[in-house]
Amino acid sequence: MTDTTVRRVGLVDRGGRQRLSLAGILRDSRVMATRQLRKTLRRPTYIVFSFVQPVIFVLLFRYIFGGAIDTGSVSYVNYLMPGIIVQTAVFGAMVTGIGLTEDLSTGVVDRLRSLPMARSAVLFGRTAADAVTNVLTLIVMTAVGLLVGFRPSQPAWRLAAAFLLVIAFSYVFSWISAWVGLSVKNPETAQSAGFIWVFPLTFASSAFVPTESMPAAVRAFSEVNPVSLCVDAVRSLTIGGPSATAPALQTLAWLAGLLVIFVALAVRAFRRA
């Protein structure tokens, strides 16, 4: 590899000092994202089975538990589907941490580190690719919801805003997953650790039942839980009801803070892995 080649990718300047240009990081991240997407497309069974769990949740709550849950004037399926969609986004984010630990354990990361590229591009590319995959999953889940009776009633721009909010939510949570995975460094442990933080956030929320029915302590947690805030915003944007402004702004505030914190933590953990 020549000095000219190394300088071209934006890693060092002419004095030999490290120089990571934004353009170089973005270019390398795009390459890593494309690599991951191609890898995912070569595993169609993985794509299919990624739909199974959320579909089971839809059927379980729609046809078994739904009759026992009072959601007032809103039909339970319309109440449920925004929660399922956000839950699917959070569960989809777990894949990032598990995938990174697999790449670490199989030596893929070591090979990538030997290339003239920004090391952080491995993380940015992986999270971007998983966000694209989650878009497909969310489209499928929305279609499943329509099949079981979900009927969004809001204008197209509000539906688009809800979809973008969920994608942003999934992307930020993939950075949390990345940090968890890089901290434990083992695929099996990463999966177990993922459930430890994902389950309380999703089930102690307004995704499946109104918070008014919860015990006081759980309700207090649920009402500041970012999953609840996102679900409330998506619910308002898709089926109407209370204003979406407050929960949407609170969700975005949560996402901004979490993104800053966990990008830094994940990059640091990646350097030490």
Burial level of 18, CB count in 10 A (0-12/13-18/19+)? exposed
Q: Show the domain range for 38.
A: 24-272
Residue 13 lies in a domain: no
pLDDT of residue 107: 86
What is the reported pLDDT for 221?
Answer: 94
48 within some domain: yes
Q: Provide the 10 A C-beta neighbour count for residue 160.
A: 11
pLDDT by 10s per residue, the chain, length 273: 444 444 434 444 444 444 567 788 888 899 899 998 998 888 877 777 778 888 888 898 888 887 778 888 889 999 999 999 999 999 989 989 999 999 888 888 888 888 888 888 899 999 999 999 999 989 999 999 999 999 999 999 999 999 999 999 999 999 999 999 999 888 888 888 888 899 999 999 999 999 988 999 999 999 999 999 999 999 999 999 888 899 999 999 999 999 999 999 999 999 887
Q: Is residue 10 part of a domain?
A: no
* Contact call for residues 33 and 126 (beta carbons, < 8 A): yes
The answer to whether the beta carbons of residues 236 and 242 sit under 8 Å apart is yes
pTM of the model: 0.87
* Six-digit token string for 239: 């089926």
Would you say residue 123 lies in a domain? yes
Let me know the angle formed at the C-alpha of 19 by 13 and 21, rounded to the nearest 5 degrees: 115
Is 19 inside any structural domain?
A: no
In a domain, 7, yes or no: no
Q: Where are the beta strands (DSSP E) in the chain?
A: none
Comparing CA positions, the residue from 36, 143, 42, 172 lying closest to residue 84 is 143
User: Total domain count for the chain?
Assistant: 1
Answer yes or no: is 116 within a domain.
yes
Q: Given the structure tokens 């997953």, which residue do they identify?
A: 177
Rounded to an integer, what distance in angstroms lies between the CA atom of residue 141 and that of residue 133?
A: 13
Contact status, residue 226 vs residue 140, Cβ threshold 8 Å: no
Examine residue 2 and state whether it is found in any structural domain, yes or no: no
Amino acid at the residue 16: G
The two three-digit tokens of residue 92, written as one number: 């989809």
Grouping H, G, I as helix, E, B as strand and the rest as coil, residue 17 is coil
